[in-house]
């Protein structure tokens, strides 16, 4: 059984879906909060700091993608995991949502058993990440502070996207280790992320550009993936 104090915020404009999810999740001992629009959802996320958010993308007023971006850009709420609820055929929005910081997605219509399994998986990954948040890294003059999501090089803060930060933190946490593209995505998103080789390469190109000369520390291993040079190199 889940901890009674584990809270889930449902942001969904379909009241029947909210009622169905609330009934099912309460039976599994989750505390449920809900909102029928994006603006109220953002307010409740900031006021209550839930353990997880179920977010419909097609919301009245503020679009679900903008809700996701707002949550992930707010210091108080950025570490709350988000599972997006989407209609079939919204693949473009799914990719945009994951890039904005969403942790997983479920397409409608969905099974309540699938919902429960995805929630448990995302909460489990989130708890592992929380344990890692205390571990700052200083390697080759690159300072990475996961708790505040800061990257500092030559006393300057480097502004990275959510995904770029996750990739840099993963590689720099394991200097010398070679990660395939699919391992990178599995580590930072979970295996359900709709990944292609090119999407990972695109993120690496942007990351290297932003960290300047330090970009050469991220080595391409042809035909395999990427690694971060160890400190003794």
Domain region containing 174: 137-228
Do 128 and 141 share a structural domain?
A: no
Same domain as 31, residue 127: yes
Provide the pLDDT for residue 197.
60
Residue-level pLDDT at 149 = 81
Whether 118 and 178 share a structural domain = no
The predicted pLDDT at position 70 comes to 92
Q: Are 87 and 80 in contact (CB under 8 A)?
A: no
Is residue 233 one of the residues assigned to a domain?
A: no
Q: What is the mean pLDDT of each run of 10 residues along the chain (233 residues)?
A: 74 95 94 96 95 93 91 86 80 74 83 90 70 76 87 92 86 90 74 60 90 95 90 63
What's residue 127's pLDDT? Answer: 66
Distances (CA, A) of 138 to 109, 141, 173, 176, 215: 46, 6, 10, 15, 15
């Amino acid at each position: 059984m889940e901890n009674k104090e584990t809270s889930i915020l449902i942001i969904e404009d379909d009241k029947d879906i909210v009622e169905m999810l609330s009934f099912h999740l309460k039976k599994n001992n989750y505390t449920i909060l809900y909102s029928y629009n994006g603006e109220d959802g953002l307010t409740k996320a900031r006021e209550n700091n839930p353990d997880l958010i179920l977010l419909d993308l097609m919301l009245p007023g503020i679009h679900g993608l903008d809700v996701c971006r707002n949550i992930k850009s707010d210091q108080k709420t950025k570490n709350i995991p988000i599972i997006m609820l989407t209609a079939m055929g919204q693949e473009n929005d799914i990719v945009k949502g994951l890039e904005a910081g969403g942790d997983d997605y479920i397409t409608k219509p969905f099974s309540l058993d699938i919902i429960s399994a995805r929630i448990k998986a995302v909460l489990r990954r989130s708890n592992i990440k929380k344990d890692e948040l205390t571990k700052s890294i200083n390697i080759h003059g690159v300072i990475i502070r996961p708790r505040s999501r800061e990257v500092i090089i030559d006393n300057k803060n480097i502004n990275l996207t959510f995904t770029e930060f996750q990739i840099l933190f993963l590689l720099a946490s394991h200097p010398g280790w070679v990660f395939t593209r699919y391992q990178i995505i599995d580590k930072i998103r979970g295996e359900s992320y709709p990944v292609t080789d090119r999407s990972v390469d695109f993120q690496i190109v942007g990351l290297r550009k932003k960290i300047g000369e330090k970009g050469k520390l991220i080595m391409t291993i042809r035909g395999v993936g990427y690694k971060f040079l160890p400190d003794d190199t």
